Structure 1
Amino acid sequence: MILKMDFILWCQITIILLMLSMKDSVCEINSVALVPHDINAFGRSSGCALVLRRVFVDGIRKSSALPYKGFFNLIGPNFINNNGPAEEICIRYIDVNLALAEAKRRKGYRPPRTLNSLEPHPKDIGITGEVVLETTRILAEQFQLTRDEIINGLPIIDTSRTDIWEICPAHVKPVPCTIERFRSFTGICNNIQHSSWGSTHTPFVRFLPPAHPDGISAPRISVSGGPLPPARLISTFIHPDFDNPSGELSILVMSWGQMIDHDLTLASLPRDEHDLDFDCCESYNNHQHPSCMTIDIPHDDPFYSQYGQRCMDFKRLEAGQRPGCTLGPRAHINLDSSPIDGNFVYGSTEEVARKLRLGKGGLMRVWDVFSEYGLKPLPPPLSENPERDCTARPRHLFCFIAGDERINEQIHLTVIQTLYLRDHNRKAIELGRLNPHWDDERIYHETRHIAAASIQNIIYKEFLPMVLGEEMVNRYNLTLQSEGYWNGYDPNVHMGVANSFQAAAFRFGHTHIQGMVRRYNKFHEFVGEDPLRTLLRRPFIVYEPGKIDELIGGLINTPAQVYDPFITMEVTNHLFEEPPEPFGHDLISFNIARGRETGVPGYNDYREWCGLGRAKTFEDFEPLLNNKTALRYSQLYKHPDDIDLWSGGVTERRLPGAMIGPTFACIIARQFANSKRGDRFWHENSGFPSAFTAEQLQEIRKSSQSKLLCENADDLPTIQLNPMRLAHPIYNPRIPCKDLPEIDLRYWQEDPAQGGYPFKKK
């Protein structure tokens, strides 16, 4: 038997079996000694799918422990030796199949229509995800599994040898890959060895094990076993509105960060049969959608009580499927492709990309609303299902469509999306002129290839050093080469987005939000402002000629709020407010509830994971947090470990030279390190068909946020060198747009006879 073999040999065999059985899946290992199926049992029913070794010490059931080293950690030699009596539990393949059959019965399962598509409908993934989750729940009850055994043991089972494989969506099964010049839209086959890593519709990964108290899907609770403080109470007590504008940062830094978030993450929320949002509070205390998890509003709430509101709409994310449809805790679907690839412009599926393309000249579709004024176009109108995520729409106007569906979420996103759309078409026209032998497909993908590389360059050269500070950028190797290639691609690095990044850390920008959207003319003079609430899901101001440029002026001239616990009431009381109602939702309550719902561990857990030390008392937080927040936490939470990650993160004192505190900096730096190292198409890599020539790469390095704004505005004559900082006559002077360096597309001029790029600048 395997358990009686020499320990090192046992580990080697176990690792080989795991690698063979995972079939491109990602395994979460934490603290239980596990043995996969019997090496001689190849049947789908009688053999052991998993053997659990349970050790009893002083009559208490325990498991041999492994340190959790990452989302895809394999069993290693770091066992804790226990000398107490042990028992072995065999979970057979037939047990899994019987549990699946019962789960199908409980859920009323019917095979989804897009099950075999590589671009399935999110709702169909959710249907199968709920069935696999229920199968996990049944097995956990049947075998009295501990939380560790659920989190670390069940995902090891090779589901390809069970009936689960028959309902497993095609996009999380292994697919044959070839090395191509251009990325797929979904990100599939970016990693040849692990075809689904980081692809659209796959789940967020985890830096720490999920904090579901049942090990499956229950929202996080207090370490004392009781409830956590109400999310809305934390919002009003810890994060009230206080105006404190920055003297250094422009509001572009917040909106650009949100745009990058929309390149990386889009969690899948349930929708109704018309693909529209629905309100869980309308059926409050009656029959609710199973995904409803409404937020209770305290009866004495300082704002909502005047309107008699006790319920805030909130839904938990759709259940997802891990690669290989493995069992285990709830997974959550990312509707975006994980690499930095410009999908907010182009889409994360072939279907979306096709809708956005013109079909000739490599161009994207536009809406030439201002042709009579000689101004540049807008994105295409949302004419199909026009009410989708669009509020108070005038009958003669439309919201817009783009690669990311949140283009209408706030007005500055609409502006940035518009600029990137214009930039694609500007470059495509020039590439077509330089290469008249290229067809629509070649021009489109070469332009998209350049755009993704330019976005990567701006993020790592301009944005991350501001956010993280130079010390963290250097520690995590986030610096870019000044010349030549980097060649640091590692196929063993999973570039998938972590849920702690998506649900907490990269939401740090919420503290920078301004309550008023200001507009400036081309001379950087203030011309007007509007409350943010009137421009959320209502982008109709851009139908006025010249307003796009005024909004660009606002992006670069409006100071952001400083990094502190205080959040504008425009998003804590009036988020997505629908006239004539005088109130909306609360973004901060959403942040806190989302972290709990998805099992994000608490702030203290991530401080420890980042090597920052674990606070044992609330007093320990005092030197770490701003504005006497530690005292306020002690008045709400029962234990320091209960503090929610997002709330704790935005109250931290900033690192020197950075915009944020050490915990969020650690999570964000780790994520962007993975995004760089795990991306085969990273713009600094060589040796692949996707690689740029050395000369092209030097041109990519010229890309900048300031030049993007200049070239795609209608009339913007001057801009500061770093538009994510406010202009300063010495440290950040304004210069003529024409003096900024630009990418010379002649380096992409191809000689059809030679099949290459021969152009060299004289």
Structure 2
Amino acid sequence: MFADGFLKHFAAPPGVHSTCEYRHKLICNTADIYRTADGSCNNLQNAYIGKSETTFARMMSSQYDDGVNKPRLHYKNTHLPNTRCVSYKLFKNINKPDTSLTHMVAAFTQFLNYDIQLVDTMNNVDCCRIQTDFNRFRSTFYALTRADEVRLYQMTQAVKSICLSIQIPKGDPKLPPNYRCMPYTRSTNTPNLDCKLSSRQQRNLNTQFLDGSVIYGSNSAITSMLRTGVDGTLRTTTNANGELLMRDFLNTVNCHLPNPNTNNAFCFLGGDKRINEQPLATALNMLFVREHNRLAKEFKNANLAKELKIANLAWNDEKIFQETRKMVIAEIQHITYNEYLPLILGPTVMAANQLNVQASGYTNNYNPGMSASASNIFGMIMTMTATTMFRDTYTFNAETKPMSFYNPDVFYKNVDAVTPITKGLLTDHAQRFDQYIATSFTNKYVEVLPGYPRDLVAIMLQRSRGHGIPLYTDWLKFCSRTYVNPHSFPHHSIDAKRELLSTYKNVFNIDLISGALSERVLSDGKVGPTVACILGKEFQRLKFGDRFWYENSGPGQLTQQQLDAIRSTTLAHIICRNTAITSIQRKAFEPISASNPAVSCNELLNIQTTTTTTPTTTTTPTTTTTPTTTTTPTTTPTTTTTPTTTPTTTTTPTTTTTPTTTTTPTTTPTTTPTTTTTPTTTPTTTTTPTTTTTATTTVCDGWGVFFPWSVCLNGIRSRFRLCLAGPGRRPCECEGAPIEVESCASSPSTMINKEQIIKELTERTKHLIYNGRLTYKMFNMYFLDVIISNM
């Protein structure tokens, strides 16, 4: 029967979870000095806080129509306006650049958003088709039996619990006339961390700390796939166009390829699947992957120098990886709190939430009672903040390219595309923070089918209603802490007030996103008061609720030399070290000006053949204390200028691989955990034989399944055996299972192509289960990149 088939669309009945997965106690190693891959055990009082695949926190209680589950679609018996109507009426495409910001601000906002949150949704459910079929089925009933009534009720509840598709009104001026339904599924329901009965809550798939999970992944399986297993480095692909991220060979669904059967322009694999959403996100992720590998090589070289003197063999792949990861996370945290947030939020909000970082010394402000779990509203606010600042185009060399989604062609058709994309981010202006959105995100966003785009603004509005996010007037009161007459619109211009009331009819109907994005920006910041309030509170929790915060003292702390190197690092340093850009402004989030002139990367990094000079700039460290929820700013903090001090380092000739045609000099910030720096004058030159390659042999720490196979690819025959590690273990090359490579003379007609390999490996591994989930794709991905990297 149709009813039976219909109910199979849904994994679980609607309503509140009857079981709670968080009752199982996690066992933590209290002596561990490194973060876990999934964020667990950061908070030793509650190991689930901040862990991936756990519940979002809430700043304010949820508001559902029935108080428990139904989306917020009404207010006092009045319907909220259709979200697509709100999008094209209120969020128009009006070009208003902010000449004080570079496009890098928008890209970095998105980067932080991807690092901290990813909402778990049921993407495999086609709600538009289901709702159409359901309505047709319901209309056929004339006389219902009791059994029919029960099934109809079950289907009605299932549709309401799972589907919240956006109905496109007739006469939509921007979308095709026959486009009537934009599919949208509600986020997966999950219990509270305390397992107490509550209203509908949502799950965050990413780690909820600012911990580089967008680079490293949010569970050990993904992290393992992204690692080479050699010298602590991350896996990349190098071809004629330079160094790229690891390719996602099996993802031909999300990636819009001209011809998936023959085209090699696969999307990339990273810590977060959204790094492929647009080229700017991909480039920024690649930038930090290169930074990781650069630091890992420095750690390896320094450790080898130590070994020559004291024969210390302790620094293996795992040690180098963890130390490098710790440094990269520290760099991201420092750039965020030292450069990005002061510019976006302004000194008043920074001081009110105690977000300023110290200029010297360690802090001891970790507060285990402050949950670092990301707030439910955070992802929506960060998404919309980035979206309002994005341009409709981006600059690539002398060319202006339209914003594209899930299309990696630019990286395959150009040499080292990361460099020109990054250069464009440094020279283009961002759009102003306001309710005006580039048409790429409202009328040309990721397509459902060719010619049928989604609307990101409508989706975010629909998500906020599906998550039970309170209305704008409630947030206005929450952030003001005193009574504010909502009818006065204290943060809006007369025009913005008129547009909001014209769209919503009633002030108490206004969605948070609409009200917050249309506010006037702060006098000393770049966003409106409500957005600044939400972000200020969120980043306060990310700082004080993180046991591994980079400034903290205690087990696993950075050495003083490492901390000094981090404090002298800016985003401009990261860019100079990892691209072919030769000159840059010191403040990458601000355009070149008289107060922010372009300088050469050599000057910025202080790479000289003689000893470097140390700036004499002194700053007074701020004394920080554990924040309280009632802290109010009393004075404007002094902006601390971080001196670009580079430890007395040596010039290390770099003959290691760089993705550009010109060699980019690299500085050696004090990344070794020793207090001395040993000059090295011998360049590390690696020569790869053309006929043989040898895989590093490590011992598997889990069970292994071997598949002997031989294949001829482009004149090279590879004989290999596949080893798959079990649950909780890392896929690795099993002991005694090297990849043997030799030349072979095979005609093109007999050579196996990439699609055949994917098909066969899929069949061979599809029965494997990892933690109860079918994950042959992950294992294939780890394996395929080894054997098809030359294709």
What TM bracket, shorter-length normalisation? 0.7 to 0.9
Equivalent position SS for 1:706? helix
2:471 maps to which residue? 602
1:456-512 Cα deviation digits (max 9, x unpaired): 000000000111001110111000000001211000000010012122355212111
Deviation at residue 723 of structure 1 after TM alignment: 1.4
- SS state of the match for residue 456, structure 1? helix
Q: Which residue of 2 aligns with 1:589?
A: 458
Distance 2:672 2:23 in 1: 37
Q: Does 1:466 align with 2:383?
A: no
In the alignment, is the contact (CA less than 8 A) between 1:517 and 1:529 conserved in 2? yes
- 1:173 touches 1:324 (CA, 8 Å); kept in 2? no
- The residue aligned with 1:647 is 514
1:761 to 1:626, Cα distance in 2 relative to 1, 3 A: farther
Give 1:411 shift.
Answer: 0.7
Equivalent position of 1:405 in the other structure:
273
Partner deviation per Cα, 1:77-119 (whole Å, 9 max, x = no partner):
xxxxxxxxxxxxxxxxxxxxxxxxxxxxxx999xxxxxxxxxx
> Equivalent residue for 1:14?
none
* Deviation by residue 1:318-372 (Cα, 9 ceiling, x = unmatched): 11232243321111110111111111110010000011010111111110113xx
1-structure distance, mates of 2:400, 2:484: 43
What is the Cα deviation at residue 452 of structure 1? Answer: 0.4
Structure 2 residues not aligned, in runs of 5+? 1-5, 135-157, 305-312, 606-645, 650-667, 680-791
Deviations 1:562-588 (A, max 9, x none): 11211111111000137742x411111
* Aligned counterpart, 1:704: 570
* CA distance in 2 between partners of 1:748 and 1:560 (Å): 34
Corresponding residue pairs, total: 580
Residues 172 and 202, structure 1, Cα contact 8 Å, conserved in 2: no
CA distance in 1, matches of 2:186, 2:381: 15
SS in 1 for 2:461: helix
Q: 2:592 aligns with which of 703, 709, 727?
A: 727
In the alignment, structure 1 residue 553 sits paired with structure 2 residue 423: yes
Q: Which position in structure 1 is the counterpart of 2:111?
A: 259
* Structure 2 residue 334 is matched with structure 1 residue 447: no
Q: Which residue in 1 is equivalent to 2:603?
A: 739
**Residue of structure 2 in register with 1:38 after alignment:** none
CA distance in 2, matches of 1:294, 1:173: 37
Q: How does 1:397-546 map to 2 (within 5 A)?
A: 397-436=265-304, 437=313, 438-504=315-381, 507-520=384-397, 527-532=398-403, 535-543=404-412, 544-546=414-416
1:673 lines up with 2:540 in the alignment: yes
Contact map agreement 2:15 2:200 (CA 8 A) in 1: no
Deviation for aligned residue 1:392 = 4.8
Q: Any conservation in 2 of the 1:198–1:338 contact (CA below 8 Å)?
A: yes
Q: Which amino acid in structure 2 is aligned with residue 349 of structure 1?
A: N
Distance change in 2, residues 1:614/1:567 (3 Å): farther
Is 2:156 the partner of 1:291? no
Contact kept, 8 Å, 1:172 with 1:324, in 2: the verdict is no
Q: Distance in 2 between matches of 1:355 and 1:628?
A: 52
Mapped partners of 2:259, 2:475: distance in 1? 42
Amino acid at match of 1:576: V
Which residue of 1 is the match for residue 630 of structure 2?
A: none
1:566 and 2:431 are equivalent in the alignment: no
**Is the CA contact 1:264–1:340 (under 8 Å) kept in the aligned structure 2?**
yes
Shift of 1:283: 3.9
The letter for the 2-side match of 1:429 is K
Counterpart residue identity of residue 359, structure 1? G
8 Å contact from structure 1 (residues 603, 645) kept in 2: yes
CA gap 1:653/1:439 in 2 versus in 1, 3 angstroms: same
Structure 1 distance, partners of 2:601, 2:595, is 17
Deviations 1:382-431 (A, max 9, x none): 01343245565652220100111111001100101111111111110110
Aligned pair 1:354/2:224, yes or no? Answer: yes
Work out the CA distance in 1 between the residues paired with 2:259 and 2:474: 44
| Contact 2:448/2:454 (<8 A) preserved | no
- Secondary structure, aligned partner of 1:471: helix
Q: Which residue of 2 aligns with 1:202?
A: 54
Match of residue 138 from structure 2: none
Q: Which region of structure 1 is more displaced relative to structure 2, 538-547 or 701-710?
A: 538-547
Q: Which string of whole-angstrom CA distances, capped at 9 and with x for unpartnered residues, describes residues 260-291 of structure 1?
A: 1111010011133xxxxx54334442149762
**CA contact under 8 A between 1:186 and 1:349: conserved in structure 2?**
yes
Deviates more, 1:447-456 or 1:569-578: 569-578
The alpha-carbon deviation at position 228 of structure 1 amounts to 0.5
Equivalent pair of 1:605/1:614 in contact (CA under 8 Å): no
Contact 2:22 2:194 survives alignment (8 Å): no
TM-score, normalization by structure 2:
0.70
Answer whether contact 1:392 1:538 (CA < 8 A) is retained.
no
Given the two structures, how large is their TM-score scaled by the length of structure 1?
A: 0.72
The reply to whether residue 685 of structure 1 matches residue 552 of structure 2 is yes
Q: Give 2:504's aligned amino acid.
A: Y
Q: Pick from 1, 16, 24 the counterpart of residue 133 of structure 1.
A: 16
| Contact 1:172–1:325 (8 Å) recurs in 2 | no
Distance 1:443 1:134 in 2: 42
Query: Hey, what's the Cα distance between the residues in 1 that align with 2:285 and 2:434?
Result: 28
Q: Which residue of 2 aligns with 1:313?
A: 183
Cα pair distance change 1:701/1:418, threshold 3 Å: same
C-alpha displacement of 1:253: 0.3
Which range is displaced more, 500-509 or 702-711? Answer: 500-509
4+ residue runs over 3 A deviation: 170-177, 287-290, 388-394, 577-580, 612-618, 741-750
Match of 2:624? none
**Kept in 1: contact 2:248–2:266 (CA 8 A):** yes
Q: Secondary structure at the match of 1:458?
A: helix
Q: Corresponding residue for 1:234?
A: 86
Match of 2:582 in 1: 717
Query: Quick one: distance in 2 between partners of 1:174 and 1:443?
Result: 27
CA distance in 1, matches of 2:671, 2:23: 34
User: 1:281-322 deviations in whole A, cap 9, x for unaligned?
Assistant: 344421497622110111122212x53222112111111232
Q: Distance in 2 between matches of 1:612 and 1:454?
A: 35
CA apart distance, 1:656 = 1.1
Tell me, which stretches of 5 or more residues in structure 1 are unaligned?
A: 1-106, 110-122, 136-163, 273-277, 521-526, 751-756
Shift of 1:223: 2.6
Structure 1 residues 210 and 578, CA gap change in structure 2 (3 angstroms)? closer
- Counterpart amino acid of 1:452? I
Q: Tell me, in whole angstroms, the C-alpha distance in 2 between the residues paired with 1:174 and 1:321.
A: 17
8 Å CA contact 1:217–1:330 kept in 2: the answer is yes
1:593-642 Cα offsets, whole Å, 9 max, x none, are: 11110011011111111126555454x11x52146121122223243222
Change (3 A) 1:175 1:550: same
Confirm or deny that 1:759 pairs with 2:759: no
| Cα contact 1:228–1:642 (8 A) shared by 2 | yes
Q: Quick check: 2:15–2:69 contact (8 Å CA) kept in 1?
A: no
Letter in 2 for 1:703: T
SS at 2:401's partner residue? strand
Matched residue SS, 1:584? strand
| Counterpart position of 2:753 | none
